[in-house]
Structure 1
Amino acid sequence: MDLLRDNELIYGRLLRIEEPHLIERYNKALKAFGLRPVKLEAFHIDRTGFSPQVAEELGNYNYLDPNEVNRRFIILTPAQIDLPVVHTAFSNTSQLVYEFFSKNSRAIDALTIKDVIYGEIEDSVQKVEDVEDLLSINQVEFKVLSAEDVLGKAAELGKLVDRLKQEPEAWRDNAMLERMVELAKVCGDIRENALVPDQVIFRHNTFWTSHFGGLYVFIDPDMITVIGDPTAPGFRRSRPWQVSYLSIRDADRVFRFLASSGRLELPRASWLETSGYLEHRAEMIIRGLIHATDPQRDLVSADKVWLQAWIHNNATLINRDGNFPFLNMAKREVAQLGHLRLEDVFPLHRFLVVRAKPDHPDAWLTNRLISDFVPSDFISRYIFNKQGFYKDYESANAVWREDVVEILKTSYLKDKEAFREHLYGLVDKH
């Protein structure tokens, strides 16, 4: 993983923490979780406070996620809202933490001036043992604490202020007034500084989880759809009137679900011809075939002329694989008809020519699921399915790893937002 780290393809865009008082606060949060403090002079954190350097020193990459449920968080600064989440068992952790920051910005701004905020994203399950445990999570609550108990002191001060306002003789209580002065030295003027978070409960919507080898849960008004390995504990066991279970090996049923639920942008000239989507898929397929047949071939310097020559010289292999000829056929049909008829298309081929509907709330998760059916497109895997990408990367040889890193650097990393908008129609994601 060193090559990925050196090129900021793993643990990129994290926030460097090097100020001694912030490191001290972080260690206070670690001790509150029952973990030993670290001796690092600097480290990087993500939106949730996870640090790869801290994980390495502790020898535990799940130090903020011990049971891969009820995720812990450590907030040192409001600036964490703009960071990615790089280690999580649930795909919606990033969005939940973003919403917590957004809804409680005043409190977070005020609290982090004096203290570290830490706690758990708590739900109804302590440990995930089967699919039903995942389906029982409807909402989460941020259990918020602070190392110096600024939150508790602010709540106490608030109660004393209320008493002073409501009880005519309360101002004669010198002990109470002295306590209020003492608390105000810590909390400041709580009429101006909102130290208590306004919203801590959030909906737990559609998500992917790493449990049971990777499992998707899509939530619609009248049905929950679970997509995963059918050998997962509890798969197809409960609530058949409310939960639809689809095997991730059944490409036809998965595609039909995504299409019928309005999550797919079907192959039409209106977006295919301007995005270069089919051309992108074709190049990914050819690069994958070259690597499969010649694992030591260095493709870093391979230009379009060289690739075209390879295609001509390996027509038999390409036709046997079938994916590249299908894309050429699809491109011709779209040019002629304005769309592609999918009725008779092989199920796995359908995933080559669709993308998530950009304005659908589940667009990112849908693109992630599509990438599971198109593993040759490592750029899509990297953007939407980093766990899958890293797994693929670890199993590849050194030559392929260098090729992948160089292509990502010269394409996606040059301008991420522009790349996502052009190819997938996506403008932004928190």
Structure 2
Amino acid sequence: MDLLRDNELIYGRLLPVDQKHLIERYNKALVAFGLKPTKLEKFEIDRTGFSPQVAEELGDVQYLDPNEVNRRFIILTPEQIDLPVVHTAFSNTSQLLYEFMTANQRAVDALTIKDVIYGEIEDSVSKVETIEDLLSIQQVAFRVLSAEDVLGKAAELGTLVDRLKQEPDAWRDNDMLNRMVDLAKVCGDIRENALVPDQVIFRHNAFWTSHFGGVYIFVDKDVTTVIANPSAPGFRRSRPWQVSYLSLNDADRVFRFLASTGRVELPRASWIETSDYLEHRAEMLVRDLIHKAEPERDISKLDKVWLQTWIHSNAALIKREGTFPFLNAAKRDIARYGQLKLEDVLPEHRFLLVRAKPNHPDAWLTNRLISDFVPFDFVSRYIFNKQGFYRDYKTFAEPWRSHVVDVLKTTYLKDKAGFRKQLYGLTD
């Protein structure tokens, strides 16, 4: 994975931690979790406080996620809110932590001046053993602690302030007044500095989790939909009267679910022709066909002219595989009629022609699911399904790895926001 790391395609945009007082605070959180303190003089962290360097030192990539549920976090600075989350079992961990830090910005700002914030994102279960355990997670609560107990001292000071206001003779209690002075030296003026987070409970909405080989859970008004491998424990057995179960191997039913719930944009000229979406799919497909036909070929200098030449020279192979001619026919029909009816399209081909509806709250999750059905599009896979991309990458031969990295560098990494807007209509 060194090539990915060198090109910031894994563990990119992390925050360096190299100041002694921050390392000491980080270690206090590690010790509080029952872990060994790091001896590193410099490491990097993501939004949750996860560090690939510390994970390597501890020999445990799950050190902040021991049971892949009730995720731990370590907050050293408010700057972490702008970082990615590079290791998680739940796709919405990043969003939950963002919501927590946003809702409690004043407390996070004030606390991290003097202390480290750490704790767990507590679910309703301590271990996931069946799909029912995942379905029972409807909200999470942030259990928030601080190494120097600034939180506890602020809460105590608040109680004493209330007592001073409400009890007529409280001002005569010298011990209490002295205690308030001592606490104020640590907490400052709690009337100005909010040190206790106000909001710690958040909804756990639609998400993907790595459990059981990958499970998608979508929440709608009248039904919850689980999309997973049928071998997952509890599949079709947990609350079948209120939960719909779809197999990840059933392209037809999965597509019908996404379309009927308004989560995908169907192939229409209004967005197909301005996004170059089908052109992108076709190019990714041809690259994949070349790789499979000639796995050791060096295609680092591949360009559009070379691609076109290869297509003409391998017309029989391309016709036999069938996907490239299908994409060309779809493009012609959309240009001619403004849309494409999907009733006669093979279920597995439908995912080539759609993207998540950009303004839907589940857009990123839906694009992730679509990428499972179009694995050759490694660019889409990298953007929306990094765990799947990294798993695929490990199976690639070296020439193909170099090519994949080059394509990602010259397309997506060159302008991430612009690329997402152009191809997927996403603005965030």
Per the normalisation by structure 2, the TM-score is 1.00
Asked if 1:55 is matched to 2:75, the reply is no
The equivalent residue for 2:64 is 64
The equivalent residue for 1:74 is 74
Asked if 1:270 is matched to 2:267, the reply is no
Q: Which runs of 4+ in 1 moved over 2 A?
A: none
The equivalent residue for 1:188 is 188
Asked if 1:405 is matched to 2:405, the reply is yes
State the AA in 1 paired with 2:109: D
Asked if 1:371 is matched to 2:375, the reply is no
The equivalent residue for 1:122 is 122
Mapping of 1:112-191 within 5 angstroms? 112-191=112-191
State the AA in 2 paired with 1:365: L
Q: What is the CA distance between 1:341 and its match in structure 2? A: 1.2
State the AA in 2 paired with 1:27: N
1:367-387: CA deviation from partner (whole Å, max 9, x where unpaired): 000000000000000000000
| Helix, strand or coil at the partner of 2:394 | helix
The equivalent residue for 2:396 is 396
Q: What is the CA distance between 1:87 and its match in structure 2? A: 0.2
- 2: distance between equivalents of 1:298 and 1:251? 34
1:48-98: CA deviation from partner (whole Å, max 9, x where unpaired): 000000000000000000000000000000010000000000000000000
Retained in 2: the 8 A contact 1:300–1:407? no
Asked if 1:299 is matched to 2:310, the reply is no
Q: What is the CA distance between 1:238 and its match in structure 2? A: 2.2
- 2: distance between equivalents of 1:363 and 1:167? 54
Mapping of 1:95-110 within 5 angstroms? 95-110=95-110
| Helix, strand or coil at the partner of 2:162 | helix
Asked if 1:2 is matched to 2:28, the reply is no
The equivalent residue for 1:289 is 289
The equivalent residue for 2:37 is 37
Q: What is the CA distance between 1:342 and its match in structure 2? A: 0.5
- 1: distance between equivalents of 2:388 and 2:274? 28
Gaps of 5+ in 1: none
State the AA in 2 paired with 1:42: K
Gaps of 5+ in 2: none
Aligned length: 428
Asked if 1:319 is matched to 2:302, the reply is no
- 2: distance between equivalents of 1:231 and 1:302? 41
| Helix, strand or coil at the partner of 1:395 | coil
Q: What is the CA distance between 1:364 and its match in structure 2? A: 0.2
- 2: distance between equivalents of 1:298 and 1:357? 37
Q: What is the CA distance between 1:299 and its match in structure 2? A: 1.6
State the percentage of identical aligned residues. Answer: 78
Mapping of 1:179-218 within 5 angstroms? 179-218=179-218
State the AA in 1 paired with 2:50: F
- 1: distance between equivalents of 2:199 and 2:299? 51
Q: What is the CA distance between 1:355 and its match in structure 2? A: 0.2
Retained in 2: the 8 A contact 1:117–1:145? yes
State the AA in 2 paired with 1:15: L
| Helix, strand or coil at the partner of 1:376 | coil
Retained in 2: the 8 A contact 1:139–1:203? yes
State the AA in 2 paired with 1:322: G
Q: What is the CA distance between 1:354 and its match in structure 2? A: 0.3
Per the normalisation by structure 1, the TM-score is 0.99
1:103-147: CA deviation from partner (whole Å, max 9, x where unpaired): 000000000000000000001100000000000001000000000
- 2: distance between equivalents of 1:360 and 1:165? 49
State the AA in 2 paired with 1:286: V
